[in-house]
Structure 1
Amino acid sequence: MAYGERISELRTKMKLTQDDLAKRLGITRAALSHYEKDRREPDYETLERIADFFDVQVDYLLGRTNDPSPSVKKEKPVNRAFLELPEDVSEEEKEFLQAQLDLQLEIFRKLKEKNSKQ
């Protein structure tokens, strides 16, 4: 399976539109569409962001392995904002929310850095 199919499959499983995922990754929807249709290859930094977002190995995206699980589980401290979550939020949901928060923070910092250079 080509990387485009894998990205599309992962995105669909999370019920995200191309626009949603592109915004979360800090790329254009057109670029994501090209990646999903194998018309263009993402650079390594973008591949890493995609892999981190979906919590899979880059090798899985590249088709080198069929095991999507990350090779190394990163332990991250729980953000204080998570102390106010409803009691019925699962650990899996907390991990998803933490990954989203981390990604958004990274995007914000890059945009802030870019704007300060202008």
Structure 2
Amino acid sequence: MSFQSRLKNLRLEAKLTQQDVANKLGITRQAYGYYESEKSKREPDHDSTQKLARIFDVSLDYLLGATESKIIVANQIINITKEEIKLLNELKKHPTMLHDLASNPEKKIKELVKLYQMKKMLLEEDEGEYGDSFDE
């Protein structure tokens, strides 16, 4: 996948317009549009590339196509599946659960994902056994 298409996909995933990203970079929408255009030879400078990685919360390696993993935890690039990314995003809503990720983040995230899946499975079993509410 080219840098341009990767950048566009990240923007669309984040539900941002070209103008939104341009504003964050401090450039015009047209200038940013060139970054996404496959026909353009324009690429962002180093500082802008770093800003783009921060805006989309991905590694520079992912943004530049050096890796397919776009998740960074505790300054380490980790390889997890799309399902695990989805669950991680859910877990981010509970920061106390994520406090010890600095040591071996890939392993810890996989453990948290399993824990979350087990919790979800148990809750679904409870709903099936006891109904959706206490009134039944």
- Map of 1:19 onto structure 2: 19
TM-score by length of 2: 0.52
Amino acid of the residue matched to residue 17 of structure 1?
T
Alpha-carbon offset, residue 70 of structure 1: 2.3
Looking at CA atoms only, which structure, 1 or 2, has the larger radius of gyration?
A: 2
Deviation larger for 22-31 or 8-17: 22-31
Over 3 Å counting, the alpha-carbon distance change for 1:66 and 1:24 in structure 2 is same
In 2: Cα distance, 1:21 partner to 1:63 partner: 20
Show CA shifts across 1:52-105 (max 9, x none): 1111111111111111112616xxxxxxxxxxxxxxxx774699xxxxxxxxxx
In 2: Cα distance, 1:14 partner to 1:64 partner: 21
Highest RCO, 1 vs 2 (Cα 8 Å, sep ≥ 6): 1
- Map of 1:57 onto structure 2: 59
Same amino acid, percent of matched pairs: 41
- Map of 1:48 onto structure 2: 50
Secondary structure of the corresponding residue to residue 9 of structure 1: helix
Amino acid of the residue matched to residue 17 of structure 2?
T
- Map of 1:6 onto structure 2: 6
Secondary structure of the corresponding residue to residue 72 of structure 2: coil
In 2: Cα distance, 1:57 partner to 1:7 partner: 12
In 1: Cα distance, 2:50 partner to 2:94 partner: 21
- Map of 2:36 onto structure 1: 36
TM-score by length of 1: 0.59
